[in-house]
Amino acid sequence: MPNDPLAGRGLRAPERSRMLVATEDGIFLRPGAALAERRGNGFVAAEPREINSRIGALFGPGAIYLPVASAVEIACVHLRAGNRDAAQRALDRLALPPVSPNGARLLRAIAKRQGLATPVFAETTKQAGTIWTEDDVESFAALDDRLASRTRVLEKIFNPGLGWDPAKHPRWPEGQSDGGEFRPADGSGSGSSIRPAAAILPQPLLGKPPKIPKRTPPSEIAKNNLRKELARWLANAALLLLDPPAAAVISALHAAVEGTAWAAHYVKAYLDPPKTLAELQAAVQNPRAGYEIHHIVEQTPARIADFSESQIEDPSNLALVPTLKHWELTGWFMRRNKDYGNVSPRSYLVGRDWETRTRIGLDGLRAVGVLKK
Amino acid sequence: MKRAQLKKMTVDELVERFAEVGVAQGDAIDNNENAKFNRLYEQMEQVDHELRARGREARLALMRLYDYPNMQVKLAAATYTLGVDPVSARQMIQAIADSKWAPQALEAGMRIINLDNGTFVPD
């Protein structure tokens, strides 16, 4: 099984030595690489390429799909506001995987070169990609010599005295199919809370970008299908750290969508970030292309249940939502859902009061990413 | 697939069937085929029912789908294992929510909220 970003998610912060710390001077990756640094009154994040390079070296190539750059940005916001604890919490939520074998060798080599204590951290025994030679490790470790003074200052922060206890986190023996991976402490055959799992966002999930036809699609159905496909692809593409050629494809697709009268408004609206309820309700006064007015308590079921017209059409029950999201919301109401006792939200609401309908209606808006959580 | 056929399957085959249904569910969501999704939902329930009949270890076998390269399958596997390994399952659901991958991340986020507020109580 490859080394992957979600491995080790079960490690709670107090049980592991931190790999990322927020200080008043910036955000640092063990042993001392700056992922963001103070510049005057602000904090500037390192280039994504630099961040990926550092993360990949320590945690394996799959780890670059973790939203590290986003977490660093969020932590910077907290640091700018003077809230170091919140910044650290943002970094801890990232739940980095155990260190890869290459990364472990690198950390030990750096510690040896710089006279630091032997570092303690969670480690896997399987390496995805190339296994470095001893010369590789030494030459990479030498690159960090220039950081020695900072590394010494950070050493205590990275080792708060609650080190990794291998006895609490036993592994399957070498030679087994799962050799080297974590196993449950109780020795049972499955159910480990630190079970390795696949990269959460491998690039192949995205698939090829949709093609925009030279001619306007002939029917509304064809247009709608392509609008949805374009919108969803662009939304998901924005989540992946893509190499420059792929990023260029995304930019070109954005530009092509902008040039279509039949898709631009819909796609642009779909990519809106979530808003507050007050914003969605106020926007009803300003309807525009790409958006539709949505009834938070669904109107047809509400009429069937004899709720009054004034209640159904009250401004508090209306929200302006992107058209494509509106369709997704309709689907959400219709699909069976574990959260509502294995029935669809629409079925769940039969016979329920207005307040419950409003609450579930707001759940729906959150479930399609229109309303802020 | 009929229940009798599920009864003849090994745990590995049931896990494979679960993944197959999950992939189809994801496609149904993408294509707005809600009636089809609901039929597939019932099929997944039947696989779960059969796994439950074989005990905790059989249910835990769904955890191997946490590695599956399809977000709908990952989310379904995590949801259906909440009752037997709540810590790992919740972590997987949280990871899916954090990924922001639409539409599963949004559903995962709601699942966490509904777990916390007691709307959804896994068994």
Q: What is the pLDDT of residues A145-158, one digit of tens each?
A: 878 888 877 877 77
B90: enclosing H helix or E strand? helix B86-99
**What ipTM goes with this model?**
0.93
Greater confidence, B14 or A183? Answer: B14
Phi-psi region of A268 (alpha: psi -120 to 50; beta: other; left: phi over 0): alpha
User: pTM score, two decimals?
Assistant: 0.60
Residue A179 pLDDT = 41
What is the average pLDDT value for chain B, to the nearest integer? 93
Contact call for residues B96 and B104 (beta carbons, < 8 A): yes
pLDDT at A181: 43
pLDDT digits (tens, 9 = 90+) for A320-334: 999 999 999 999 999
Quick one: pLDDT at residue A165?
42
Q: Nearest residue on chain A to B33, judged by CA atoms?
A: A331
Beta bridge partners, A291, equal: A322
Per-residue pLDDT band for A186 (boundaries 50, 70, 90) equals very low
- Sole residue written with tokens 């997944």: B44
Cβ(A202)–Cβ(A253) below 8 Å:
no
Q: CB under 8 Å to A12, separation ≥6 — which residues? A: none
Write out chain B residues lying below 8 Å of A1, CB-based.
Answer: 67
The shortest CB-CB distance from A67 to any of B42, B98, B102 is to B98
A131 touches chain B (CB under 8 A): no
Q: Write down the pLDDT at residue A168.
A: 43
Point out the residue among B96, B98, B102 whose CB comes nearest to the CB of A235.
B102
Q: Which of A191, A202, A367 sits opposite B106 (nearest CB)?
A: A367
- Collapsed DSSP state (helix, strand, coil) of residue A171: strand
Write down the pLDDT at residue A160. Answer: 57
- Looking up tokens 């697709």, which residue turns up? A253
Cβ distance of B113 and A328 shorter than 8 Å: no
Give the containing element (helix H, strand E) for B73.
helix B71-80
Cα A116 to Cα A98, A152, A204, A219, distances in angstroms: 20, 7, 41, 68
Average pLDDT on B93-103 reads 87
Cis? peptide before A67, omega within 30° of 0? no
Mind listing the domains of chain B with CATH numbers?
A: 3-116 (1.25.40.70)
Which residues of chain A neighbour B61 with C-beta distances below 8 Å?
A: 190
Taking the CA of residue B76 and the nearest CA in chain A, the distance in Å comes to 10
Q: How far is B4 from chain A (nearest CA, A)?
A: 23
Q: What is the DSSP string of A214-227?
A: SSPPSSHHHHHHHH
pLDDT at residue A310 is higher than 90: yes
* Residue B65 confidence (pLDDT): 94
Please state the φ and ψ torsions of residue A209, each to the nearest 5 degrees. Answer: -65, 145
Please state the domain extents for chain A. Answer: 13-163, 212-270, 277-367
d(CA B120, CA B89) in angstroms, rounded, equals 14
Q: B37 to chain A: nearest residue by CA? A: A335
- Chain A residue with Cα closest to B120: A339
Is the CB of A324 inside 8 Å of chain B's CB atoms? no
Q: Which residues, other chains included, contact A167 with Cβ-Cβ below 8 Å and sequence gap of 6+?
A: none
- Which of B41, B111, B119 is nearest residue A336 as measured by Cβ atoms? B41
Interface test with B, best of A94, A181, A190, A344 (most B CBs within 10 A): A190
In chain B, the residue whose alpha carbon lies closest to the alpha carbon of A334 is B34
Chain A: residue nearest B121 by CA? A339
Rounded to a whole number of angstroms, the distance from the CA of B92 to the nearest CA of chain A is 8
Cβ–Cβ below 8 Å for A344 and B30: no
DSSP line for A271-334: TPPPB-HHHHHHGGGS--TTEEEEESS-HHHHHHTT--HHHHTSGGGEEEEEHHHHHHHHHHHH
Q: pLDDT tens, A64-100?
A: 767 787 778 778 877 877 778 778 877 877 767 788 8
Rg for chain A, CA atoms, rounded:
25
Contacts of A160 (CB under 8 A, 6+ apart): A17, A18
**Rounded distance between C-alpha atoms, residue A80 and residue A40, angstroms:** 11
pLDDT band of residue A127 (cuts 50, 70, 90) is confident
- Cα A270 to Cα A130, A135, A292, A298, B84: the distances in Å are 40, 50, 12, 21, 37
Residues 6+ apart with CB under 8 A from B50: B3, B6, B7, B9, B14
**How many CB pairs (< 8 A) connect A and B?**
120
Alpha helices in chain A (DSSP H): 48-59, 68-80, 84-92, 101-114, 134-143, 148-158, 220-237, 244-258, 264-270, 277-282, 299-304, 309-312, 323-334, 345-348, 354-367
Distance in angstroms (rounded) separating the CA atoms of residues A252 and A254: 5
A286-302 exposure pattern, b = at least 16 Cβ within 10 A, e = fewer: eeeebbbebbbbbbebb
Instruction: Of A14, A21, A9, A20, give the one whose Cα is nearest residue A165.
Output: A14
Tell me the Cα Rg of chain B. 14
Residues 6 or more apart whose CB falls under 8 angstroms from that of B72 comprise B22, B23, B25, B26, B29, B104
Length of chain A as a residue count: 373
Share of chain A above pLDDT 90, in %: 30
Any idea what the Cα angle at residue A96 is, between residues B86 and A11, rounded to 5°?
40
Question: Which residue does chain B place closest to A369, by CA atoms?
Answer: B106
Helices A68-80 and A48-59, packing angle to 10 deg: 120
Backbone angles phi, psi at A165, to 5 degrees: -110, 105
Nearest to B60 among A191, A198, A328 (CB): A191
Residues in chain A closer than 8 A to B100 (CB atoms): 67, 239
Instruction: Provide, as residue numbers in chain B, all residues whose Cβ is less than 8 Å from the Cβ of A4.
Output: 67
**Interface check B103 vs A, CB under 8 A:** yes
Mutate to test the interface with B, among A226, A227, A338 (most CBs of B within 10 A): A338
Candidates B38, B99, B111; nearest CB to A336: B38
Question: CB distance B95–A200 less than 8 Å?
Answer: yes
Could you report the per-residue pLDDT of A200-241, keeping only the tens digit for each?
555 566 778 888 888 899 898 889 889 988 998 888 877 765
The nearest alpha carbon in chain B to A226 belongs to B31
Residue A312: its pLDDT value, please? Answer: 97
Token pair, residue B83, equals 């009752």
